[in-house]
Amino acid sequence: MRNWLAGLLVSGGLRLMKGGDTMSVIYALLIIKGLKTYAQVPVKLQPEVKTYLAASDLDENGEPLPAK
User: Model confidence at 36, in pLDDT bands (50, 70, 90)?
Assistant: very high
The pLDDT assigned to 21 comes to: 76
Count of the separate structural domains present in the chain: 1
Asked if residue 12 belongs to a domain, the reply is yes
Q: Where are the alpha helices (DSSP H) in the chain?
A: 2-16, 21-33, 46-55
Question: Quick check: 50 and 25 in contact, CB under 8 A?
Answer: no
pLDDT at 68: 73
Q: What is the pLDDT of residue 32?
A: 93
- Residue 64 placed within a domain: no
- The pTM score is 0.71
What's residue 1's pLDDT?
Answer: 64
| Mean pLDDT, all residues of the chain | 84
Is residue 29, in this structure, part of any structural domain at all? yes
* Full residue range of the structural domain in which residue 45 is found: 2-55
Query: Does residue 66 sit within a domain?
Result: no
What's the mean pLDDT in 4-14?
68
